[in-house]
Structures are given as C-alpha cells and as structure tokens.
A = this chain, B = another copy of it.
Amino acid sequence: MRKKKKYVVGIDLGGTKIMVGLLNKKFRVISYEKIKTEASKGEKYFLKTIFDALEEILSEEKVKSSEIQGIGIGCPGVMDEKRRVVVSSPNLAFLNHFPLSKKIESHFDRPAVLENDVNAGLYGEHQFGAAKGYSSVVGIFLGTGIGGGLILDHKLYRGASGAAGEIGHLILDVHGSLCGCGKRGCLEAIASRLALASEAAVLAYKQKAPKLMQLVGTDISKIKSNAMAKSIASGDHALLEMVHQKSELLGLAMAHTVNLLNPELIVLGGGVLEAMEKYILPKAEAAMKKYAMTPLAREVKVVAAKLQDFAVLMGAAKLAWDEV
C-alpha cells in the first residue's frame, strides 16, 4: 500500500491558532484552514474543530480519507517516548496526558504521527526549506517563547526523553529575569517576543521609543513583532539598540550550540525573526562568531527559515509520510 496513497495531512496545533492542511504526495499544500484556538472550551471542542476542518477540506477537494497516507500532527510541548501521547503542553494544558494520535486516528481511520511542533517545523525546513541537504542543523524559533530543535545525521534528534534542543532555556545570565520555566536568565526570558515587548514597553513609557508609543502604547499584549519592526524603521533608535543587545545574547546561545554540536547550519525562524530579520540575524551571527571556537564558527552558516507558517504543517506531513 505504502506510497500508493495520493495525499497526506499536516496539522499544526498552537496556543493561538490551529492549521489543518491537505498536501499532495509532492508535499505541496493543496488546501488548508486556519482556525483560532479556543483552549478554554476544552479537549472535546478542540478535537471537533480539527475534525470539522479536515472533513471540510476533504469534501471540498473530493478526497476520501482512504486516499490519505497518514496524518502528521505538530503539537507544542513534550510527547511521550513513542510519540503517541502529549505528556505536557503548557500552552494547551488540557492536552496533558491526552492520547491525541489515537483520537485522530480512530476518527479518520488513518494512522497518525505526533511530534513536537518545533521539531516538526525544523524537519519541514530540513526537508523543503532553508536547511535542505544539510546533515547537522540547529533550529531556533523566536516567537512568544523560544523553541529549538536539532537535526543530526539528517534525522531529528530527540534525546533520552524526547526533549532535546531546549535552546530557549539555556541560561545566559544566572541573575537574569524570571523565565516561564521557573529559572532565571534563560534565552527565552531575554529574547522571546514577550521579553522584547516588555523592554520595549519600558522604553516607550520612558519616552525613549516615541514611534512605538504612538503606534501601540505600553501594553505588552499589543507590542507585536511587526509593531517593533515598524517603530525601529521609523526611527526608534533605543528600540533598535535593545534588539541588538538581545541579538548578542542570542548569538551567545548559538555559540553554545556550535561548540557542543559543531553543526553545519543554524536556522533562525519564528515571528520575531520574520519581522526583524535584518536587525537580529547579522548581530546574532557576529556574536556567535565572537563567542564560538574559531574553527567551529568558521564551519557554520546562519540563515533565516523559509517556510514561515507552513513549516510545521509540511514537516508534520512529511514525518507522517516517512513513518507510516
């Protein structure tokens, strides 16, 4: 049967949105739906949302579920060793210990594969995007939090309990700001969207970021990456300097990964990077080269991710295709 199927499904579960997509066997996204995550309505509603979206796509595209090779699911958090059950997902807490694969499998009667969303996205970049053809890749995704993943010898490296690649929780300043993980001074507490927004808000409040103040004010829930990018482009120098400082520490974390893993490539992605690539990437790369051992720094390329919103969808679909 294998490889005779014509389609594969990718699902990207997030704290704010869900994406469900149908891909052909060349992994082109034929059709997809983006739905708002309503975490407060619990797991039954959540599942129904996914089922409805996929059923709608299949019916519109006139595809029978028997024509689907498998369903790949990218989900935030830690999956169990066999990647069947969500062990812990802080942003989708109702999924903790939830047999997500099984529920989706039995509804559509097709095999499902579950993977951490950052790993799925990195795998997408490795198979179809910025990391294609590279043997060893470190992926760092700057969003509301900071996710990381590793490709070693062309494969996802998951570690002893499926949690390898926690680059966002490398501690860069033991006296630094409190992180969501309970520690202090993690990269995520320094350079995530939320960390940038909170310092940007202080700059705005102190009248050092007038463009940002004008655009969105001091409410960190409104200080999105694009607002910061726009304000910098309009002349908020203090904001740019702050982003440069954060990029320097991102570069230190990148140097740690270079010294430990001697990778060929570092891929930077996520909403923060997409909005501010030109302010972040060159500074982070320069700092990495400053802090990593010279011969290793020389070997490694730093590039921006390419697949944006489709990385997880495509990576999860490819995993389902490969593993089913």
Please tell me if A165 contacts chain B, counting CB pairs below 8 Å: yes
Query: Quick one: closest B residue to A168, CB to CB?
Result: B259
Q: Are A257 and B255 in contact (CB under 8 A)?
A: no
Please tell me if A1 contacts chain B, counting CB pairs below 8 Å: no
Q: For the complex formed, measure the closest distance between the CB of A276 and the CB atoms of chain B, giving whole angstroms.
A: 23
Q: Are A165 and B260 in contact (CB under 8 A)?
A: yes
Q: Are B159 and A262 in contact (CB under 8 A)?
A: yes
Q: Are B174 and A261 in contact (CB under 8 A)?
A: no
Q: Are B260 and A261 in contact (CB under 8 A)?
A: yes
Q: For the complex formed, measure the closest distance between the CB of A159 and the CB atoms of chain B, giving whole angstroms.
A: 3
Residue-by-residue, is A253-266 near B (CB-CB < 8 Å gives 1, otherwise 0)?
A: 00111011111100
Number of copies: 2
Please tell me if A157 contacts chain B, counting CB pairs below 8 Å: yes
What residues of chain B lie closer than 8 Å to A294, measured between beta carbons?
A: 181-182
Query: Quick one: closest B residue to A292, CB to CB?
Result: B169
User: Which of A159, A163, A291 has the largest count of B CB atoms less than 10 A from its CB?
Assistant: A159
What residues of chain B lie closer than 8 Å to A296, measured between beta carbons?
A: 159, 161, 163, 166
Cα distance A192–B262 in the bound complex, in angstroms: 22
Please tell me if A171 contacts chain B, counting CB pairs below 8 Å: yes
Picked from B164, B181, B290, B295, the residue with its CB within 8 Å of the CB of A262 is: B164
What residues of chain B lie closer than 8 Å to A78, measured between beta carbons?
A: 295
Picked from B158, B166, B291, the residue with its CB within 8 Å of the CB of A259 is: B166
Q: For the complex formed, measure the closest distance between the CB of A236 and the CB atoms of chain B, giving whole angstroms.
A: 27
Picked from B159, B256, B291, B295, the residue with its CB within 8 Å of the CB of A256 is: B256
Q: Are B160 and A295 in contact (CB under 8 A)?
A: no
Q: Are B291 and A261 in contact (CB under 8 A)?
A: no
Q: Are B300 and A261 in contact (CB under 8 A)?
A: no
Cα distance A308–B292 in the bound complex, in angstroms: 30
Cα distance A150–B257 in the bound complex, in angstroms: 13
* A262-B174 contact, Cβ under 8 Å, with A163-B295, A166-B293: no
What residues of chain B lie closer than 8 Å to A299, measured between beta carbons?
A: 160-161
Please tell me if A244 contacts chain B, counting CB pairs below 8 Å: no
Give the 4 A-B CB pairs with smallest separation, nearest first.
Answer: A159-B262, A164-B262, A166-B259, A160-B264
Residues of A within 8 A of B (CB): 78, 88, 135-136, 148, 150, 152, 157-167, 169-171, 174, 181-183, 252, 255-257, 259-264, 290-296, 299-300
Selected A-B contacts with CB under 8 Å, 13 pairs = A78-B295, A88-B295, A157-B261, A160-B264, A161-B295, A162-B262, A163-B295, A166-B262, A167-B260, A170-B256, A182-B294, A183-B293, A256-B260
Q: What would 10 more interface pairs be, CB under 8 Å, given A160-B264, A183-B291?
A: A135-B160, A136-B159, A159-B261, A159-B262, A161-B299, A164-B261, A164-B262, A181-B294, A182-B294, A183-B290
